[in-house]
A and B are shown apart, each in its own frame.
Chain A
Amino acid sequence: MRAARRLSSLATRFLFSLTILTPPARTQDFHPWDAPLDDFASKIATSLEKRASIELTVRNISSIDSATIETIRRALESDLQRRGLRIRPAASTDSTVEVTFSENVREFIWAAEIRRGEWRHVVIENFPRSAATTGAPAQPPLRLERRQLRQQSEAMLDFALLPSSGSPSPDLVVLEPERLVVYHWMDAAWQPGAAVDIPHANPWPRDLRGELDVARNAIILPGVECTSQFQQPFALQCAAREANPGSPAATSAPMIRIAGRDVADFARLRSVCNFDSLILASGAGDWTQPDTLQAYEISDSDALAAGTPLDFAGPILALHASIDGASARVISRNPQTGMYEAAIVTISCNR
């Protein structure tokens, strides 16, 4: 009974933490390219005479989307005009400035080829690439909604949002292959707090799976189970366990059959949007491909896709249902950025 009450309490705390988490604050006027753009405009302006009339052309051969390029182009025009340059059609100028937005594997490269008659001068501005953000609308009859919580270069196996003792925002607990880390939401970012190493005698399997069992304050890993106070994981008590799900000698996990294939990784959700038995499952490609998260309604013999899938840039590596079955914790890896991404996926009903 005490255990049941404790579970219920933890579940409530967990739900509470999900609802109060606010998305990271965004400052409307700040763009990552503001400083490089200013430097770029300065380099162009100092290569030309004051109050020169120029024809400005822009082309984009980078991965920046066209809408963003248009915003940058307008900002560049304003900046050049602020510096005294006059932007005119070709016929009324004696100088041309041909701007190319380019990139290499590490940086954005913005180049301006400035020509006046036979004279040619090139100025270049470079700055580190930052991940582009995209959002995809979902479709009826139910909608999968993703809320990305964190991305990091280190592998993540699982995560949990838990109430914080000293803050209205919850803490984020992240299980990595080698450690458990607590992050606190401060200054519109997750700030690392306590961390503790996870002891293991043997190398982990390559296809490592791990799970945070919030109800039991437990970490489940291949061959090891540890317990800890997640918000203050200064010490772990670990003990060997038999199952070793990621190893070659893995015991068979429960499977569900979808579109002719047996799927081991799925999250079972509660009844929602008039669907009685829903699961979420990822695709069937490999780690090099984009992935999808699809809701299925499970009947006696079939799994019928419900709604449209949610696209992920890279493979979904971990999928765990929340305690109340209302959402799923998803860890994926974005091959473009190389980052592991932790997101909570919830279902909304379309009316």
Chain B
Amino acid sequence: MKLQSSRFRAIASGLVVALALPIGGAERPRYGGALHVEIGASVAALDPGVVSENPDEAGAKDDLLPLVFETLVTLDANGALQPGLATSWNADAAQKTWSFALRRGVKFHDGSLVTSSAVAGALEAANPDWKVQTGGGIGGVLYEMIQISTSSTAPDLPEQLAEIRYAIWKRAADGSVVGTGPFKITTWEARKRAVFAENQEYWAGRPFLDSVDVQMGQPAKNRAIDLQLGKADLVDLPPDLARRASDDKLRVSTTSPAELLALVFPPGHKATDDARVREAVAKSIDRAAIVTFILQKQGEPAASLLPQWLSGTAFLFAASADPVAAHALWTQIHAAPALVLGYDSNEPLEQAVAERIAVNAKEAGIPLSARAIPANSNAAPIAARIVRARFDSPVPRLALTDLLANFAPILGEDARPLPASATSEELYARERVALDTYRVVPLVHLPRIYGLGTRVRNWQILPGQSLEGWRLADVWVEEEAP
């Protein structure tokens, strides 16, 4: 009897524990259904070989490209290399020539096999400096091979190949660009709508979804409302609406920071060629207030080029404002003129940040005003402007090299490529040198923010994969209620 009683209590307590636990785990995914997506940006063409100048369009394109296109290798959540369209790879002793064995039997969406010559064509188009040769055979087994030769040591060439700009594609007979990914493009209305259908022949197993329907150029408020009404399953959200969506208990998914918002002082401007002017403005900026009030805490104050998750050394750069020091510096400058800070007239976020910086500057006694300017204008009276730069790789050296290249016209010699063997200490030192000129002043690191419908399952963007775009092959949707 005692045994029975204690056993009953044990079972009962176990039951309570089980019911109280959040249900985690591994329910079997459901095949079928459509994912309805709404985004703010408008994408002209989904072509890995074409670079978009508009940061919003570039971001949306980076999200969508992995649906259709794949790379030879991928990076996992820890930034470690994993096989993609290549199953193995190795380098020569000098790490100047890399060989990749291609996965067998993979087909482009037009039904043709992925050959080494098709791969070579795509890679040579992506990087004309590479010499790409084709071949075959490892240990008597017939594998399609490619060999990439570089002019200098390239120990992280495989990591570079994980970037979507090195996706493998070919031009089909009808002139369209086709890939090998889990979804095929079935409808493309430039800047309006795209429909992607599941690739039954996908080498890694057909995706769970039947289709993905993307509406482009949707206003932010409409996207948020459609998410709330269940008309959209996945939307991108600006920071203010993301906060509201969280308050409304909607599902919000925020990536690790994927973009840098910075202030740049282009050379050739009489006033800001004086380093003390740039330093004074930089020291007056209250980044924490920008994150709190403008970004609604959806971002991180940035004093470094790379965010903490990417470099691990961002904490070594001080992000706090020092208006007293800013004022003291400013008073040393004789006959300092009023400064104009430019922002992209189409970007509400840039405008809000620029106006906030103007307020901070005034508090430090610096006469600075914010002014809308056309994108990419280098109008003479503009002393500084707000710019956005996306991180291209989770590998610190590659990310910093790309970022410095973006700022090359402003940083000059400090933007030169980093040696392939650069250690974390050397990366930090280069970042420090670049920032100590105050030509580029980091402001905030911005994440990408998405709202998710209740029926969306398996949505995940891990830190190491924050820059890789959407992995919708594993996403599935619950059946809609009748």
Query: A residues within 8 Å of B by Cβ?
Result: 61, 100, 102-109, 111, 113, 122-126, 129, 140-141, 153, 203-208, 246-248, 259, 261, 264-265, 274, 282-292, 294, 297, 304-309, 312, 315-317, 335-338
Q: Are A283 and B14 in touch, CB under 8 angstroms?
A: no
Q: Are A102 and B313 in touch, CB under 8 angstroms?
A: yes
Given A306-B10, A306-B11, verify A105-B78 contact (CB < 8 Å): yes
What B residues does A315 contact at CB under 8 A? 24-26
Query: B residues within 8 Å of A by Cβ?
Result: 3, 6-7, 10-11, 14-15, 17-19, 21-29, 31-32, 76-80, 82, 201-208, 308-313, 315-316, 394-396, 423-425, 428, 457-460, 462-464, 473-474, 476
Q: Are A307 and B14 in touch, CB under 8 angstroms?
A: yes
Main DSSP-derived SS at the A contact region: loop
* Complex: A294 Cα to B312 Cα, angstroms: 38
In the complex, what residue of chain A is closest to B424 when comparing beta carbons? A126
What A residues does B3 contact at CB under 8 A? 274
Q: Are B464 and A292 in touch, CB under 8 angstroms?
A: no
Q: Are B28 and A126 in touch, CB under 8 angstroms?
A: no
- Interface residue from A247, A264, A287 paired with B458 (Cβ < 8 Å): A287
Besides A206-B202, A292-B24, A316-B26, 20 other A-B contacts (C-beta < 8 A): A102-B312, A105-B463, A109-B312, A109-B424, A140-B10, A153-B80, A203-B204, A204-B205, A206-B206, A207-B29, A246-B205, A264-B28, A283-B26, A283-B27, A285-B26, A286-B29, A291-B25, A291-B26, A292-B25, A304-B14
- Interface residue from A123, A283, A287, A316 paired with B425 (Cβ < 8 Å): A123
Q: Are B202 and A203 in touch, CB under 8 angstroms?
A: yes
What B residues does A287 contact at CB under 8 A? 26, 29, 458, 460, 474
What A residues does B10 contact at CB under 8 A? 140-141, 306-307
Instruction: For the complex formed, measure the closest distance between the CB of B184 and the CB atoms of chain A, giving whole angstroms.
Output: 14
The A/B interface has a contact count, at CB < 8 Å, of 188
What A residues does B207 contact at CB under 8 A? 206
What A residues does B203 contact at CB under 8 A? 203
Q: Are B315 and A106 in touch, CB under 8 angstroms?
A: no
Instruction: For the complex formed, measure the closest distance between the CB of B54 and the CB atoms of chain A, giving whole angstroms.
Output: 27
Q: Are B25 and A61 in touch, CB under 8 angstroms?
A: no
- Interface residue from B15, B25, B424 paired with A316 (Cβ < 8 Å): B25
Q: Are B25 and A285 in touch, CB under 8 angstroms?
A: yes
What A residues does B204 contact at CB under 8 A? 203-204, 206
* Complex: A140 Cα to B214 Cα, angstroms: 51
What B residues does A282 contact at CB under 8 A? 25-26
Q: Are B206 and A207 in touch, CB under 8 angstroms?
A: no
Given A104-B311, A335-B462, verify A208-B79 contact (CB < 8 Å): no
Q: Are A338 and B78 in touch, CB under 8 angstroms?
A: yes
What A residues does B464 contact at CB under 8 A? 105-106
* Complex: A204 Cα to B424 Cα, angstroms: 41
- Interface residue from A105, A261, A292, A337 paired with B309 (Cβ < 8 Å): A105
Q: Are B76 and A283 in touch, CB under 8 angstroms?
A: no
Given A104-B311, A106-B394, verify A305-B80 contact (CB < 8 Å): no
Query: Which of A100, A102, A204, A317 is the most central at the interface, judged by chain B CB atoms within 10 Å of its CB?
Result: A102
Query: Which of B395, B425, B462 is the most central at the interface, judged by chain A CB atoms within 10 Å of its CB?
Result: B425
Given A102-B315, A111-B316, A259-B19, verify A126-B14 contact (CB < 8 Å): no
Given A291-B26, A292-B24, A304-B15, verify A205-B206 contact (CB < 8 Å): yes
What B residues does A207 contact at CB under 8 A? 28-29, 205, 208
Instruction: For the complex formed, measure the closest distance between the CB of B481 and the CB atoms of chain A, giving whole angstroms.
Output: 16
Q: Are B21 and A126 in touch, CB under 8 angstroms?
A: no
Q: Are A286 and B21 in touch, CB under 8 angstroms?
A: no
